Amino acid sequence: MRGAGPWGLKDDGFDKVMDLTGWLRLDWILVAVVGGWLLIGVAGVLGLRRFTFVSRVLFPAGGALGLLLFGLALGAIFGAPEVAVLPIGLPNLPFHLRLDSLSAFFLMVIGAVSAGISTFAAGYFRKAEGTPPGLLCLEYHVFLASMALVVLADDAYAFMVMWETMALSSYFLVTANHRVPEVRRAGYLYLTMAHIGAISILLCFGVLQANTGDYTFDNMRAQNLSPFWASVGFLLALLGFGAKAGLVPLHVWLPEAHPAAPSPVSALMSGVMLKTAIYGLLRVSFDLLQTRFWWWGGLLLALGLATALFGVVFAAVQVDMKRLLAYSSVENIGLVIASIGLALIFSGYGMKALAALALTAALYHVASHAFFKSLLFLCTGCVLHATAERSLGKLGGLIRYMPWVAWVTLIGVLTSAGLPPLGGFVSEWLLLQSFLFTPGLPDALLNMLIPAAAALVALVAALAGYTMVKFFGVIFLGRPREEKLAQAHDAGAWERVGMLWLVLGCVALGLAPVQFIQIIDPVTQQLLAAGLGRTVAASGWLLAPISVERASYGPVIFLIGVAASFALAFLMVRWFYHGRLRRSPAWDCGFPWQNARMQDTAEGFGQPIRQIFEPFFVMRRELPTPFDARPRYRVVVEDHFWGWIYLPLAALAERIARLVGLLQQGRISIYLLYSFVTLIAMLLVVKR
Amino acid sequence: MNIYGVISQALEIVVALALAPLLTGWVNQWRAWLQNKSAPSLWQPYRVLHKLFNKDSVVADHASPLFRAVPYIVFGCMALASSIVPTLSTDLPLAPAADAIALVGLFALARVFISLAAMDIGTSFGSLGARREMLIGFLAEPALLMVLFSASLISKSTSLTTMVEALAHQELAIYPALAFAGVAFTMVSLAENARVPVDNPATHLELTMIHEALILEYSGRHLALIEWAASLKLFAYSCIGLALFFPWGVAEADAPLALLLALPVLVGKLAIGGFLLAVLETLAAKMRIFRVPEFLAGAFLLAVIGMLVHILLAT
Amino acid sequence: MSELLAQFVNLLGALLLMLAFAMISQRRILTLINLFTLQGLVLVVSTAVVGYVTGQPHLYLSAGLTFVLKVVLIPVLLHRIIDRLEIRWDVETLINIPTTMLIGIGVVIFAFNLATPIAMLSTSLARGTLGIALACVLLSFLMMITRAKAVPQVIGFLAMENGLFFAATSATYGMPMVVELGIALDVLIGVLILGVFMFQIREQFDSLDIRHLEKLKDQ
């Protein structure tokens, strides 16, 4: 059923509130939220250096609009798709916009997460950075608005315009501290990779419209492409959206750009922008393409698992806290892509219920990753502000000076490690459950390879736990490795509110999976004509996607069980025995001159991973000799892909550029000769 | 959910809490006898717990509240784990809360918390122990998951109670996949419970410690809770092994009187299992820490091969 | 009953695979020989069981022959060779053991996948084990490739023959007796000759490291 607002046909609305002005949710979103964000951005430019106005008024307003978006999208998921046509755009291709369940889900994620991040940013931005605050406000809100519009776009032109706007605004945000050379370099790399992806996406849309000249998505849905062209379109989409999402080997910009940006921007990029790439992939493969082949799913599964393993292994050996989180994002995106691949495999064989299970796992992980990764990046922002240190080798013991941030980070870390009863575990559980159904597949080879893939998922999840213990332990626990850490201050009020909202999201995703799956149900119904909603609703608070005998998980009972045992043990011990405590120096094995430098370093904690997974890395070591008066040890771990792909490509580009540069002789007569030759050639062609 | 279910659940929790130190004492006794030493009494672990609870808890100067909370958290996790595994009966109201995958997650939760507690003190041994424990964990956890997957492929469910019922009621059938899974499970339990050949629970040399290095700083009631949690972990792992590979004798949902039989059967099976563990520990030598990843990788790959063999033979 | 025995043969096949895998990941030569002896024993039991179920008495003879050769004679021979060459060290591998195990898994998946359509054609009792037997053969071959010393290579060669024997038993109820005796004789002679070679290598290079054989290249 199609409905449209004041720009199109009249329609019957569903909600009395919405019906007040004859406007549908899509219209409300466009005017109130997107328009509001753009207005805030403009207001920021008008008050370019008015720091308090920008940070205390404009950013919280942006956060409130995010919450509004979350509410509107939540309502829209259960409703029918809505369409709008804007009077801007090309002469015979105005902007088409469409709000269906898939867009609504991603809008929910964008709205909810950005609300928390904007609130945090209200308290975070300080005066001394390279860009004036008003300009930062403009770029930030344009970024948010363009992400929302990317998800709403219903034709290729609108999509590409919004995609480019997203890339450009985030480039400016990444290079906010443009006085630092590394930041400029990271931004340049980011922009290059974003454009390579954009070209691929454009080519994909070109293939999808199959020579009809009509670039609207509705037209693409109606096309019936041959298997060859459908596969070409899919591969181009994979290349383009994969470059934005961070699939190996196109991930190289992620570990550079995310650390270089200010922390709220890193959170936004990692938590939200990567999800728009996932949205694009889902839109193209499940909505715009009408047939699906199982080998697409196999390719996605293989790539996703390779990315996940690569990301987590690299994350485990990092010594910079933001790079660690960036590689961890690569890992999580890999898991999402692997789930989508599994859904494609099932869908290619017509097993719709199982495809819905795998797709639900993917979407759940999208939501939960958005929350916990943003939370973790915001916490590193607090640490960075308090200590001005990003390197793990100079942090430590911060739980004493920043307890609030530490406890909030602990929740984020536990969610990231995929531990029950928090949000990261549910998506992992759903994914492993869908792997267990694969022996029903008709193909014997797939039947055998997929349990091996399940083993890899389990390995990645365990390694993620390792990485997160390292992250939390080296930063917050132990003894401070530098003296200045004693002056670290805790988070401010705005920052606390923002982080608390995200913590609420992580916990809610963990404790109420049944409700969230019922929210995801319309999305899978739209894409696959199957969903878990009904089976899940049958078991109440227990998550049992197929049946209770088959598999079940009850996070609330779980939490109550652990908490009850905790409380009972505490009380019983105090009742029967006592609760006396004494303090004393730590055990030193008879060596009383222990200092903070004797703790494990970040390199040390990553050493077993470096040893076991040695072929993954390019390592450069500087080892001290026995004769050094001040011995130093340094190990730098790098990516193979730079040497295999990017450096040769860059060298090739340079050589071609040099060859072309030969044309520039610097003498006017030569240039006139070029014009003369071209003129003669054109006359010859015209003569024919 | 009927009264029998509640009774069997409560009985299971009480039995787990009461019998776990006894199992540890039994294993220690047999280890001593097999090495021709005179053994401590069977009730020694209880006396140790009582002594530790009576003592003051001494905590390092700069330990954080996390350090003091972790023993209770770990104890809570292990108590919940022991009450989920169907030891006496499959009619457990708490069992639907966590299936096999969530059980592995529960163990992982306990492991993460205790590693964080070890890093909290900031001495070299604490962080060394944390690193080693996480290393063993990151290889043992997927292996355990794969073992449980093999069993769940056979019984077509990941819920532990369904697995026990399915495996107990199969017509006498030999599953080769379970042979692989059994070997892999033994290797994983040895690693996770800090037994020889992975780690010596009776060692006094700090450089060879893994599990002991994590709890070096704890004393008094905290140490008592952690020791009890370690015995509960051994108990839970043994019961998982019994449930997967020797599930006969467990009471079913509609046979409440079978509970009376189930307890002696459980005690008997655990006694045999404990004896075999002691034999294994006596015959094997502790391996170098650098060989442990290979050992666990072998367990992991064996479990994967078990799954593949099952799929091959089922087609 | 015969259903149960068929599953028992499956179990023995799985044991064989486990032993082959254990041999790949072993470091010490004495343990390798013990594992090989165990493999021979498993083979004897499985042949006897298949012979009992299908009522083919010549399989009992095969089992007896295998026992004498693989469980008694060849291990004794190998122990003597090791004593005379005074080998006590750990086995060196050309690629490290976890990677070998990973390649082993890939080989197993390949073998299983290959065997499934072939197994559908067979009508024998234990046809599901064809894939397992093929996997054993390939794993032993892998062991031969990745070892740097001569004795484990010999053991790998013998283990390959074990796998072939198991494949023959499970698919076709044993080979004709003549072929069987011929193979057994070949294996025995092979081991004797390899033993002689090992002495020669040792004399020439003062070590049993096969990488030294590369020095014989014309360069």
- DSSP designation for A320: B
Contact between B313 and C128 using a beta-carbon 8 Å cutoff: yes
Contact between A462 and B137 using a beta-carbon 8 Å cutoff: yes
Give, for B154, the enclosing helix (H) or strand (E).
helix B124-155
Mark A29-38 as b/e (b = at least 16 C-beta within 10 Å). Answer: bbeebbebbb
Residue A93 predicted with pLDDT over 90: no
Residues A440, B86 contacting (CB under 8 angstroms): no
**Beta strands per DSSP E along A167-223:** none
Residue B157 touches chain A, beta carbons under 8 Å: yes
DSSP line for A598-666: GS--HHHHHHHHHHHTGGGEEEEEE---TT-SS---EEEEEEHHIIIIIHHHHHHHHHHHHHHHTT---
Which of A310-319, A395-404, B118-127, C1-10 is least confident? C1-10
Residues A550, A539 contacting (CB under 8 angstroms): no
How far apart, in whole angstroms, are the C-alpha atoms of residue A678 and residue B7? 95
How far apart, in whole angstroms, are the C-alpha atoms of residue A14 and residue A82? 11
Q: How big is the B-C interface in CB pairs under 8 Å? A: 62
Residue B42 touches chain A, beta carbons under 8 Å: no
Residue C117 touches chain B, beta carbons under 8 Å: no
Which chain A residues have a beta carbon less than 8 Å from that of B126? 478, 599
Residue C113 touches chain A, beta carbons under 8 Å: yes
Closest among A210, A202, A238 to A226, alpha carbons compared: A210
Nearest CA in chain C to A450: C109
- pLDDT of A1: 35
How far apart, in whole angstroms, are the C-alpha atoms of residue C219 and residue C215? 8
Contact between C109 and A444 using a beta-carbon 8 Å cutoff: no
Residue A614 touches chain C, beta carbons under 8 Å: no
The string of pLDDT tens digits covering residues A183-198 is: 899 999 999 999 999 9
Q: What is the dihedral of CA B105, B108, B112, B117, to 10 degrees?
A: 110
Residue C4 touches chain B, beta carbons under 8 Å: yes
Which chain A residues have a beta carbon less than 8 Å from that of B68? 581
The string of pLDDT tens digits covering residues A449-473 is: 887 888 899 999 999 999 999 999 9
Backbone angles phi, psi at A80, to 5 degrees: -80, 160
- pLDDT of A358: 92
- Quick one: average pLDDT of A578-606? 82
Nearest to A436 among B98, B152, B300 (CB): B152
The string of pLDDT tens digits covering residues A305-335 is: 999 999 999 999 988 999 999 999 999 999 9
- Quick one: average pLDDT of A563-572? 91
- Quick one: average pLDDT of A49-66? 84
- pLDDT of C120: 67
- pLDDT of B188: 93
Name the β-bridge partners of A622.
A634
Angle at A368 between CA A351 and CA A31, to 5 degrees: 100
Contact between C102 and B177 using a beta-carbon 8 Å cutoff: no
- pLDDT of A200: 94
The string of pLDDT tens digits covering residues A132-153 is: 888 888 999 999 999 999 999 8
The string of pLDDT tens digits covering residues C11-25 is: 888 888 889 988 888
Nearest to C101 among B173, B297, B309 (CB): B297
Side chain identity at A79, as an amino acid letter?
Answer: G
Name the β-bridge partners of C147.
C93
**CB within 8 Å of C68: residues ≥ 6 apart:** none
Residues C127, C100 contacting (CB under 8 angstroms): no
Q: How far is B73 from chain A (nearest CA, A)?
A: 6
Mark B249-268 as b/e (b = at least 16 C-beta within 10 Å). Answer: bbbbeeebebbeebbebbee
Residues B99, B148 contacting (CB under 8 angstroms): no
- Quick one: average pLDDT of A44-53? 79
| Residue to test with chain C: of A309, A445, A446, A449, most C Cβ within 10 A | A445
At A406, list the tokens: 């530490």
- pLDDT of A27: 77
Contact between A462 and B141 using a beta-carbon 8 Å cutoff: yes
Nearest CA in chain B to C103: B301
How far apart, in whole angstroms, are the C-alpha atoms of residue C184 and residue C181? 5
Residue C87 predicted with pLDDT over 70: no
Contact between A448 and C98 using a beta-carbon 8 Å cutoff: no
Side chain identity at B103, as an amino acid letter?
Answer: L
How far apart, in whole angstroms, are the C-alpha atoms of residue B34 and residue B196? 14
Confidence label for A3 from pLDDT (cuts 50, 70 and 90): very low
Residue A589 touches chain C, beta carbons under 8 Å: no
Residue A504 predicted with pLDDT over 70: yes
How far apart, in whole angstroms, are the C-alpha atoms of residue A687 and residue A672? 23
Per-residue pLDDT in tens (0 to 9) along chain B, 315 residues? 678 888 888 888 999 999 999 999 999 999 999 999 999 999 999 999 999 999 999 998 888 999 999 999 999 999 999 988 888 887 788 888 888 899 999 999 999 999 999 999 888 888 888 888 888 888 899 999 999 988 888 888 888 888 888 888 776 566 788 888 999 999 999 999 988 888 888 777 777 778 888 888 898 899 999 999 999 999 999 999 988 888 877 776 666 677 778 888 889 999 999 999 999 999 888 888 888 888 898 898 888 888 888 877 765
Residues 264-293 of B with CB under 8 A from A: 290, 293
Closest among A311, A330, A505 to A408, alpha carbons compared: A505
DSSP line for A520-556: HHHHHHHHHS--SHHHHHTTTTSB-SS-TTT--B-HH
Residue C114 touches chain B, beta carbons under 8 Å: no
Residue A611 touches chain C, beta carbons under 8 Å: no
Which of A547-561, B139-153, C178-192 is least confident? C178-192
Confidence label for A178 from pLDDT (cuts 50, 70 and 90): confident
How far apart, in whole angstroms, are the C-alpha atoms of residue B233 and residue B74? 10
The string of pLDDT tens digits covering residues B133-187 is: 888 888 899 999 999 988 888 888 888 888 888 888 776 566 788 888 999 999 9
How far apart, in whole angstroms, are the C-alpha atoms of residue A436 and residue B136? 25
Residue C167 predicted with pLDDT over 50: yes
Residue A543 φ/ψ region, left for φ over 0, alpha for ψ in the -120 to 50 degree band, beta for the rest: beta
Residue A402 predicted with pLDDT over 80: yes
- Mean pLDDT taken over chain C: 78
- Quick one: average pLDDT of A77-87? 82
pTM of the model as a whole: 0.89
Give, for A460, the enclosing helix (H) or strand (E).
helix A444-476
How far apart, in whole angstroms, are the C-alpha atoms of residue B234 and residue B195? 10
Residue C172 touches chain B, beta carbons under 8 Å: no
Mark A630-639 as b/e (b = at least 16 C-beta within 10 Å). Answer: eeeeebebeb
Angle at A361 between CA A533 and CA A66, to 5 degrees: 85
| Residue to test with chain B: of A556, A587, A589, A594, most B Cβ within 10 A | A587
- pLDDT of A13: 41
Closest among A226, A282, A370, A225 to A102, alpha carbons compared: A282
- pLDDT of A547: 74
ipTM: 0.93
Q: What is the dihedral of CA C25, C27, C28, C31, to 10 degrees?
A: -10
Instruction: Tell me whether the omega of the peptide bond preceding residue A249 falls within 30 degrees of 0, making it cis.
Output: yes
DSSP line for A246-313: T-TTS-TTHHHHHHHS-HHHHHHIIIIIHHHHHHHHHIIIIII-S---HHHHHHHHHHHHHHHHHHHH
Which of A37-41, A599-603, B289-293, C119-123 is least confident? C119-123
Instruction: Tell me whether the omega of the peptide bond preceding residue B197 falls within 30 degrees of 0, making it cis.
Output: yes
At B70, list the tokens: 């972790």
Confidence label for C212 from pLDDT (cuts 50, 70 and 90): low
- Mean pLDDT taken over chain A: 86
- pLDDT of B93: 82
Angle at B302 between CA B300 and CA B308, to 5 degrees: 110
Helix pair B258-283, B220-245: axis angle to 10 deg:
100
Q: What are the Cα distances from residue B189, in Å, to A608, A679, B183, C208?
A: 21, 82, 10, 39
Contact between A554 and B127 using a beta-carbon 8 Å cutoff: no
The string of pLDDT tens digits covering residues A226-269 is: 889 899 999 999 999 999 998 988 898 999 999 888 899 999 99
**Within 13 A of A594's CA, how many CA atoms are on the CB side?**
20
- pLDDT of A9: 32
- Give the pairing of strands A617-622 and A634-639: antiparallel
The residue that leads in pLDDT, C177 or C9, is C9
